[in-house]
Structure 1
Amino acid sequence: MSGEKHCPLCECHDVARYHEDARRDYLRCCNCALVFVPPAFYLDRRAEQAEYDLHQNSINDAGYRQFLSRLATPLLQRLPDAARGLDFGCGNAPALADMLRQAGCHVALYDTFYAPEESVLDARYDFICATEVVEHLHQPGRELQRLWSMLEPEGWMGVMTKLVKSHDAFVSWHYKRDPTHVCFFSEDTWVWWAQEFGVRLERLGADVIMLQR
């Protein structure tokens, strides 16, 4: 168990058992407050993609685009004209990228399963989007630092993910039932991350986080 008691965000070993259910254990980092699933419970890559293949998202689905507008609208308000960005974890239906392109942005795509073009990770961007992505990351500390290093000065990272509110709420939380969700951020976690990297942090609504370099 000692090998599992390691926060994948801040690498702290001071973690405590937070919850367990019939399928998985959940630990909480005492440093950054990330709640996470130990690696022993991760799906293998094939099973993980099979779960994603079940998603029925469509680029032109009005409801899906309305959902994504909770991030797209405030992001566009903060960007210069013709901004260059990356849709990280774009999935098999990159509706957000389509919305941003229609607004005049230039958007590259990356997804480890559906758009695995590594060269886009060597560029620099005015903005990076990660919608419903960070909860899937096995190494969120490493991935978020890499993304942050790709931003131009004063660039924006827009994140959409459901946030842990309390232990009582977590016990019955539907969000943890997805077997591909292995990292659960709270507002305290994002405050820690912003302080650690000298980041301007804005929380918009229940699940949108804006971070400025």
Structure 2
Amino acid sequence: MTNQTHSICPLCNSLEVKFYLKDKKREYLICNSCELIYVPKSYHLTSVEERSRYVKHDNSIDDPSYLNFLSRIVGPLLSNITNIDSSEGLDFGCGPGPVLKKILEKSNLVLEEYDLYFKNDKELLKRNWDFIVSTEVVEHLIKPGEVLIDLWKIINEKGFLAIMTRLYDGVENFNAWYYKGDPTHICFFSKNTFNYLAQLFNCEIQFFDKDIIILKKK
């Protein structure tokens, strides 16, 4: 069992962390401060293993079910953009194919793409953006707190961060939750976890469906 006395929450850096459960493959810890559930480092895949799994994901522009899944974020994005013609956005964690970029082109939105494994142009992380969208990414982050704070810094005033990730709605159901079965999923957020981030960033928060969250600068 992980020595939880030496574990620090990767989102809020709290020491108020405790063992939650262990399944057949991994252990899970939960932070009492922000409610993040996360997997200890000893169970993480290597970067080579992780990239290999991403390549195998059938997340292409030619997959109708994936297109329908991803297209659900378009409405929340458009409802928060004041001037579509002049807004510039970044797809953080875009994956190997330009799926979201192609979807948003139909709404005349300009979207640049960054991905650690497939489009690792660090210069994009030095620019400022009107909005950043990150779909099915935060659950993979080793240091979610550090990454989200860095992204927040490069969002313009009145801009926003749009995130898509499945939220757990009660720890009593977590053990049977399909979403934790992916070995690349190492961080799991609840609504309260995102409310913590909204308080940290002093920003507005919006929830759409069960998996879309927008953090918007005031």
Structures share fold, TM-score greater than 0.5: yes
Instruction: Give the TM-score, by structure 1 length.
Output: 0.96
Instruction: Give the TM-score, by structure 2 length.
Output: 0.94
One-letter code of the match for 2:148?
Answer: L
Q: Which runs of 5+ in 1 are unaligned?
A: none
Residue in structure 2 matching 1:140, options 141, 144, 154: 144
Equivalent residue for 2:131? 127
Equivalent residue for 2:202? 198
Q: Which runs of 5+ in 2 are unaligned?
A: none
Equivalent residue for 1:88? 92
Equivalent residue for 1:100? 104
Shift of 1:19: 1.3
1:68 aligned counterpart, secondary structure: helix
Counterpart CA distance in 1 for 2:69 and 2:75 is: 11
Residue in structure 1 matching 2:158, options 150, 154, 158: 154
User: Deviations for 1:95-127, whole angstroms, at most 9, x for unmatched residues?
Assistant: 111111231122110000111111110111111
Give 1:42-61 correspondences, 5 Å limit. 42-61=44-63
User: Deviations for 1:27-51, whole angstroms, at most 9, x for unmatched residues?
Assistant: 0001111000011111010011111
Counterpart CA distance in 1 for 2:30 and 2:5 is: 15
* Greater Cα shift, 189-198 or 71-80: 71-80
One-letter code of the match for 2:200?
Answer: E
Counterpart CA distance in 1 for 2:207 and 2:168 is: 14
One-letter code of the match for 2:79?
Answer: Q
Aligned sequence identity (%)? 38
Aligned CA-pair RMSD: 1.2
2:159 aligned counterpart, secondary structure: strand
Residue in structure 2 matching 1:174, options 172, 178, 203: 178
- 1:11 equivalenced with 2:10 (yes/no): no
Equivalent residue for 2:79? 77
